[in-house]
Structure 1
Amino acid sequence: MTHLETELKKLKEDTTEMWRLVIQQLEKALHSLRTFDKDFSRDVISSEKRVNAMELKIDRDCESIFALYNPVAIDLRFALATLKINNNLERIGDIAEGICKFILSEKEPFDKELLNCTQFDLMYESANQIVLDVLKAFEEEDTKLARSIFKKDELLDDINAEANKNVAEFILKHPEKTEQALNVLSIIRRLERVGDQSKNIAEEIIFYIEAKVLKHYKNNKK
């Protein structure tokens, strides 16, 4: 194995480690919301510093690979893609942190009727699964699975599109829970962005494996 191959292998391992940490952040945030155990939210917020540190390390490692090894072809595309994927993962970590801040601001558990009428559990579990799927696509270099992310994200878009109406109807019935309903709406907006970040990652996976740039192509089908 050449020095470049060794560095690229380590880069992939470090990126995968960061990915799993971000997934753990999302899962802890959901557990905190469901159980109203705020310690999980505090843990997520505390761990965000680790996510940020990993992002900086991966950025530096990519820059070192460019400077020291002058990669070409798929090796260059992999390093370039990883640089962008790293940024998307850090943003998903920020989203998990933001969700936990909403949880910490609540004085009582989230209303089950509110969660049901907004399809909250379905959206959260779907968002988390998309991040898991795109990680698998990255690990296995599976562009078919990467392309499936675009379709799966449509469910998040649909739930998000209905969120305003569903939350407004809930507030009419339960005006005393307006603040909590608006917090749930804000969390839904953030989960929709998890899907967007995952689509960006899927595009980068296809780019480095197939040398195809999908950005700006209608419906991401090319």
Structure 2
Amino acid sequence: MNKNSEYTELKYDKGTIIINGNINLPNSVYDPRIDKNRALGRSFQDIIHYLEKNNEEYIDNVSDYIKFSTQSKFNDTNVLRDYQKEALESWIANDKKGCIILPTGAGKTIIALKAILELNSSTLIIVPTLNLMEQWYESIKKILSDISLIGMLGGGYEDLKTITVTTYESAYLKSSFLGNKFKFLIFDEVHHLASEKYYLIGDHFISPYRLGLTATIEREDGRHVLLNNI
């Protein structure tokens, strides 16, 4: 890049993107505290798309994804049933975003593991309980020969790895730090994400790929409609 040319600098700051440049970008608002525009982390892909579509030069100081290097270390023998394959293909066709709603015992975890294989990207799996965190960890161990690439965050664990399993509470508390580390988010029991508290997780992360899993997406407070923007 020509140092004398005008460009836009994007910087990650506690779940938001600071925009340094004389340009109005999608979903950004003026922050008088810093005299610059700012956007939520979830707007990162829209901002990049806008800049590239308009041939605007920019510097990305936002994304700091954990390197994914497990492509040759998977040992997955699971075979998807027709309805599981259809669900995965529909998610892929939807730009690798959205929710899969299937009954308990229908193999949503297997679909999610296939999605991880599909993307080959750093992945954060968010679950509601410590028990589920450990169950997911064990499921991933079965298909990944190098367990040093799997970590857990929460319940006394502080192990951030290529594929990390955490709880909604830990993801919420650390979202401003973790928000630019993972390309792929998996929300188990995704209806929890729609709560007023945990919805912030989705806002802070820049992750372009997102998968929600649940058997019952509806909430009594009606906030499940927010999951259309997972």
Q: TM-score of the superposition, structure 2-length normalised?
A: 0.28
1 or 2, which has the higher strand percentage? 2
Q: TM-score of the superposition, structure 1-length normalised?
A: 0.28
1 or 2, which has the higher helix percentage? 1
